[in-house]
Chain A
Amino acid sequence: MEWNRSTTSYRGLCLGALLAGLVLCGGAAQAATIVELATGLSGGTGIALDEIQNHLYYTEWYAGTLKRMTLTPGCEATSPPSCAISTVASGFSHPQDVAIIPDLGIGYVTTRDDPGTSGALWRVDLGSGAKSLVTFNLGIPYQIALGPTSTTAYVVGSDVGRLWRIDLTTGVKLTAASGLDHPIGLVINADGSRAFVTERGAAQSLAEISLTTGARIRDVATGLTAPSYLEWTNPAQVAVYLVEGNPAERILQVDLITGISAEVVGGLPGGASECVTSFLNGTLYAITKNKLVSVALVELPLSEPVFLGVGHVPATSIVDGYATTDPGYFYQVTHSPFGGTVNIFGNLNNFRALGATHYRVMMSDNGAPFVPLALSWNAYWWNPASGEYELVPVAPVPGDDRYEIPPEYPSAPQRWKPPFLMMRWPTTTNGLFEFKVELWALSGSSWTDLTPLLPGTIPGPPPRPANSLILRVDNTPQTVDLEEILQHGTTTVIAPCDIVTAPIPNAYDFRITAYDANHHLLSYELWADWGKNESMTILHEIYSSHVDAEGPYWWSGAPAHSIETSPATGWAACCNCAHTFYLRVWKRTIDGYNYILRRDSHQSVTLNNTGFSCPKPGCP
């Protein structure tokens, strides 16, 4: 399957569906490559990841086991995969899910039907495999979500329609929400204020629940197919991966703000139930009835952009380094390279949400190794004390090349003008420049690299990495010259400042140069001015009439000494007067806000051979 070629039409479809009360935008997935890590599972159900030890834990429903796969480097790449698997604990009565606290070496497992109970929550020592009961009679528990402090867990009880909040020390459980329709999947947000729950009742939905009041806030999505377990797409928690079981067997990415869903992994083996993401490994792992599989995160679309844009140009409207915006947008360009000084906007809100305190912008000059950009600029910042926007300098951390993300993000980006400005980069030499963002978290004097949280692909076409911005730079001025004014059909030159009288015919051709050796010409126009505000366009050529004329993105215009005859009978003056002929040539190079390269050439002559005096009604 492919993403719709037109981003606009895809977005339009989804918004239309949203307005109609449907939120699933199916059929728009890229084909992610699924790698089988293990086969022959005995009813795979739950999965959890220890990124520190690189251990993948999973439960088997029929075997009643909790197993551990050790993800040694390269074990996934062998054929067949050779990642070692061991049994951590056994004897569970139909385990449904596993969650772990790696720092403590503890896991938690929900079981469906321990004898005499309606399902239980177990604590497991991941080292020894010793297990102890935390609580029971949970009403067929499914997915576990650990609370913010890891002293509390949340579990959904499907048969009782409840979301339980469980004290992991005492086993005390409170009803965090009730009236759910066969809840299955569950995630809790970072501050513990919201739960998102999949329900397999009539609505087959994803619901948002307030953990403060227990109230159902809204249905984020309905009409799902066998919705199963949930996983945050990343720490920013604006979207979830939702596994759909039989018969869909796929993973959706559901945007929690809009409710828009899109398939990101299709064609999973039968009985898919849960997935987890490892940003350090760049991998999404999914468990199905008989198989454990993986998908590279870089093949999946990011839920939030990294680069927002350059000037007025959205980041995703820049392909192969050229900007192309859509008709109807207030700033419409086609195949424009960049030049001058460009404002590069980044998703500072999301960087904050991912846990970053600082960012660094890395640049590669025409394929050379990436180097950090350490530049300074000024921007306006709202001073709450003065009630005015005040000009302030923006610069990297002293002695470093990382920039602190201002505290106004994410709650008050409006206090910056322009908001989300991440880098102001003065272009110089021509070529293809690629930018990446590094995210950093500073704690004390220790830096933690959070950049792996930014994998993903912009669907395209063509698909391209999300943490990448490529700009084609072209600052070379075009060549412009109104070389000669000629008597039509001859090589007779009318020199500048000549006074032309009868019997010389009132018909002229023009020899011009309106040329860009870099093939990025936007337009050239030749016109004549005379009398009082009298003017007439003689010829006008523009890139939209010559798109890709000389190859992708290329049109060079009129090379040196081109004879322009317009109309075919030669251009004729309207009345006797002094005339100035202007040749104006634009390149497509933009700084994100304007075309920046314009050059003019002109000549003046007096044309007194028309037979009419100026002003002449109806002229031009």
Chain B
Amino acid sequence: MRSSNKIVRWAGTFALLAALTAAGPAAALHSVFLTVPNYSEEALTWCGPAVGEMVMEGYPGGAGCDEFQADVWAEILVHKTEADWDTDPVGLAEAMKSLCPPIGTWSVFHRADATELMYLVAFYMTHNNYPVAAVLNTQTHNAIAAHQEHWVVIKGIVTDVDPTSSSSITLEHVWYTDPAPPVFGDPPVEHFISGSSWYAQFETVTKASSAYTGEYVAVIEPPQRRGRAIARPEVLEGRIIRREEAFEMARRWIEKLEILAELEPFRKLRESEPLEPLLVNPKYGGYYLIPFSADGKTAQYAIAINAYNGEFQEAGAFAPMRYLSEKEAMKRSASVLSNRELERAKASLVFTPEAGVTSRFHPVWKVEVEERALTVRQDGRVRFWPRPLLRTEQPR
């Protein structure tokens, strides 16, 4: 047994926060934040066991268990029912029940409607105070192509009303930990994300052989309940706001999001200096990434602002890193491209699973020249774009 679970509630304290959103009138918010230790995956296919390890240490009242990630994995293998997963939902639920029985039980919840599932997450996190293991998506997210499921731990949730007293709520924010950082072995990435952004990233299972295909999945300490947790959809296209506007919005969000200062991973965010905003995905789904740095160079936090309306999307805490400038990205590309190609090349920051990017805070530079494209990761590694760009077939 290790840490005790800490419940933080701010019912009625988020009027200012809500006012900053474009969501209309200010409202009293309800939140649950649990104390859950962070662990990165110890193998490239172990986001599931890492999530299990974190969840089991995050039981309420200090009733959790300190298990080796390897033992969680071994137990998952014992209980696994779907071979196409490294960690399938039943395997994870049964492993946690076996290794560290909760007061109730662990159940696999799966819904075709994400809002239904997130309502259940909000309800039981409020009611039972257990963290939740959720399948963020089933996209390949590292060098192991066969590993697809991407488990995360939901540690906190902010809604407009208490989900235990209403079956229709608005999902304002989700606080989750991703145990699969872009650089294997780094600390896990902390995400504090708006409900809209959460739904933009939360995906159904796409494994053809899975019983959960087409559904959103989470492992929750239950019992069954019905309801919805809605959020406005994110704006994905339109006129891109100016960089200065984004910078100002970020500054204001930091000021206004007092909630972040209360969360341990983000405690020093306010003491950090914002760096130059970076526009990511300029063609579609754009956002500004505003890094925050304690030394003016390396960033340990970042805020993602919607590039079209300036809405807060997500705050992240991660291993210290330095963002490459466009000039640096082009310079790195010189190892692959000829000088002539470099002259014609264009670079943009992108966040897309296609390029193996799984964190909004770790976009890659996409350097394009004619039909060729490269990715330049923030650590400087250069790769060819995963799929070749095809010329449009011209009629003869």
Contact = CB atoms under 8 A, between A and B. Distances in A.
B147 to A, nearest CB: 7
Nearest to A169: B144
B68 interface: yes
Contacts, number: 44
B179 to A, nearest CB: 12
Nearest to B70: A173
Interface string A105-131: 000000000101100100000000000
Given A135-B42, A136-B42, A171-B44, 8 more contacts: A133-B184, A167-B43, A170-B45, A170-B144, A171-B43, A173-B43, A174-B70, A174-B74
A525 B69 CA distance: 84
Contact of A120 (B45, B46, B70, B185): B185
Interface in B171-197: 184-185, 187
Contact of A116 (B68, B69, B70, B187): B187
Interface string B60-73: 00000000111101
A101 interface: no
B74 A137 contact: no
11 contacts: A114-B185, A132-B184, A133-B185, A136-B42, A137-B69, A170-B147, A171-B46, A173-B42, A173-B70, A174-B70, A175-B70
Interface string A312-330: 0000000000000000000
Contacts of A175: 70-71, 74
Contacts of A164: 70
Interface of A: 114, 116-117, 120, 132-133, 135-137, 160, 164, 167, 169-175
- The 5 A-B residue pairs with the shortest CB-CB distance in the complex, in nearest-first order: A171-B43, A133-B185, A172-B43, A170-B45, A170-B44
Interface in B58-117: 68-71, 73-74
B167 to A, nearest CB: 42
A114 B42 CA distance: 13
A283 B71 CA distance: 42
A116 B42 CA distance: 12
Contact of A174 (B45, B73, B185, B187): B73
Contacts of A117: 185
Contacts of A170: 43-45, 144, 147
Contacts of A169: 44, 144
Contacts of A133: 184-185
Contacts of B69: 137
A171 B42 contact: yes
A167 B69 CA distance: 15
Contact of A137 (B42, B144, B147): B42
Given A137-B69, A160-B68, A164-B70, A172 B46 contact: yes
Interface in B245-262: none
Residue picked from B43, B68, B144, B187, most chain A C-beta under 10 Å = B43
Nearest to A117: B185
B243 to A, nearest CB: 35
Contacts of B73: 172-174
Interface in B10-58: 42-46
A172 B184 contact: no
B68 A135 contact: no
Contacts of A120: 185
Nearest to B44: A170
A145 B84 CA distance: 30
A602 B69 CA distance: 93
Nearest to A164: B70
A173 B42 CA distance: 9
* A120, A132, A164, A170 pick with most chain B CB within 10 angstroms: A170
A175 B72 CA distance: 11
B74 A136 contact: no
A522 B130 CA distance: 94
Interface string B138-150: 0000001001000
Contacts of A132: 184
Nearest to B53: A137
A136 B42 CA distance: 6
A463 B46 CA distance: 57
A170 B49 CA distance: 14
A174 B70 CA distance: 6
A89 B43 CA distance: 22
A207 to B, nearest CB: 21
Contacts of A173: 42-43, 70, 73
A83 to B, nearest CB: 34
A167 B45 CA distance: 11
A114 B40 CA distance: 14
B46 to A, nearest CB: 7
Nearest to A166: B43
Contacts of A171: 42-46, 184
A139 B368 CA distance: 45
Contacts of B147: 170
A170 B145 CA distance: 11
A133 B41 CA distance: 12
Contacts of B44: 169-171
Contacts of B185: 114, 117, 120, 133, 136
B95 to A, nearest CB: 14
Contacts of B71: 175
B74 A172 contact: no
Nearest to A172: B43
Contacts of A174: 70, 73-74
A133 B147 CA distance: 18
B76 to A, nearest CB: 11
A110 to B, nearest CB: 14
A214 to B, nearest CB: 11
B386 to A, nearest CB: 19
A141 to B, nearest CB: 12
Contacts of B46: 171-172
The residue in B68, B69, B185 that gathers the most chain A C-beta atoms within 10 A of its C-beta is B185
Most A CB contacts (10 A, CB to CB) among B42, B44, B73, B74 go to: B42
Nearest to A133: B185
A510 to B, nearest CB: 90
A545 B46 CA distance: 80
B137 to A, nearest CB: 19
B50 to A, nearest CB: 10
Contacts of B45: 170-172
